[in-house]
Amino acid sequence: MKFYNREKELHYLKTYVQLEPNSILFVYGPKSSGKTTVMLKVIEELSKGNDLVFFYYDLRRHATPTKEEFLKIFFEKSDKKYVLNRFEVNLKIWKFGVEEKFNFDESSLNDVFDKIYEGIEAVVRDGKKPVLIIDELQKLKNIYFNGGKSLLNELFNLFVHLTKVRHLCHVICLTSDTLFIEEIYRNSTLENASKYYLIDWLRKGTIRNILKEEGFSEKEINHCLDYLSLPYEIADLIENKKLGISVEETIKQWINIEADKIKYLIKSNRERKKNLLKVLSKFKDKIKVDIEEFEDEIFDDVKFLIENEILFYDVINGIIKPTSVKKWFAIKNVFKK
């Protein structure tokens, strides 16, 4: 899909990775808001120089990994401490190198961290700046090493050491799991050692400019502005227009499909129905609701809707909203008589 204007986000991230490492950066936002696309654009543009080395791991490409699979994802057998990722032909990204005799099956967590550290130090010795990026980091939550040590918890300790303590390497974690972000935000280990950056819905001015560039009429654009918020929706509109489906038809289909999903979720959880409707009713007249407006007795149901990607929790700003504008219209559709 074509890369659409995200100049503000690009500027922030491109500037950030060129500063001295001092904290872990969590890039969060609604699903499909463009986090990965923006991050890959940063890598594409900055890796053309020779001063930055990007280690990028997209955990969505893999089934939830086991300990052994995690090791094979992160490391490559090589005589070098860091090596180009041979599976990423379109991007200049790297993996940590380990010697041929390294035994993945018998490695301890300390062995793993030593290899990551050696790779980072090798980049620094070469006069370059390492940047470690992990997309959907929360997929490592249930991996434990010998002695029951949590991989994720121990990784955070390593990341703090690499960034805030030694200033050796930037660490950037991308996620759309905002309940995971809440866990991180409340984690005392990461207090004063982490930053958060929201990549949210597209701005209306950006949407207008894109649609105009793509040949949509002023009437079509004005109709779209009330409903669009995510980059892939624009791609869907463009494709449907080529297929002879009008803007109005496309948007109507979106809302009907999303409303049906919500109704099905409610029907499939009848014991929650009253509370789910109570939560969703708060969005009948407004698109953003302060977290304090949700009573304690329905907060588990709020979390249920977040887990099922109906709602998005912006934990940093204390706001809950639908995952997209079209989802908001779908929620309102649920309450239509």
Confidence of residue 67 (pLDDT cuts 50, 70, 90): confident
Phi (first) and psi of residue 21, to 5 degrees: -60, 130
Percent of the chain with pLDDT over 90: 79
Single-letter amino acid, residue 5: N
Give the best-scoring range by mean pLDDT among 94-108, 187-201, 315-329: 315-329
Q: Is 169 exposed, middle or buried (0-12, 13-18, 19+ CB in 10 A)?
A: buried
Q: At what angle do helices 273-281 and 325-334 cross, to 10 degrees?
A: 120
275 close to 298: Cβ distance less than 8 angstroms:
yes
Mean pLDDT, residues 235-248: 95
User: Which of 233, 214, 32 has the alpha carbon at shortest distance from 136?
Assistant: 32
pLDDT at 4 over 70: no
154 close to 165: Cβ distance less than 8 angstroms:
no
Q: Which CATH superfamily, name and number, covers 7-198?
A: P-loop containing nucleotide triphosphate hydrolases (3.40.50.300)
* CA 335/CA 284 separation, integer angstroms: 8
Looking at domain 204-334, its CATH architecture is Orthogonal Bundle (1.10)
Question: Greater confidence, 43 or 89?
Answer: 43
Helix ranges (H only) for 62-191 are: 67-74, 109-125, 151-160, 178-185
Mean pLDDT, residues 262-270: 97
* CA 67/CA 140 separation, integer angstroms: 9
- Listed in order, the ranges of the chain carrying CATH 1.10.10.10 are 204-334
63 close to 84: Cβ distance less than 8 angstroms:
no
Model pLDDT, residue 176: 92
Phi (first) and psi of residue 167, to 5 degrees: 55, 40
- Listed in order, the ranges of the chain carrying CATH 3.40.50.300 are 7-198
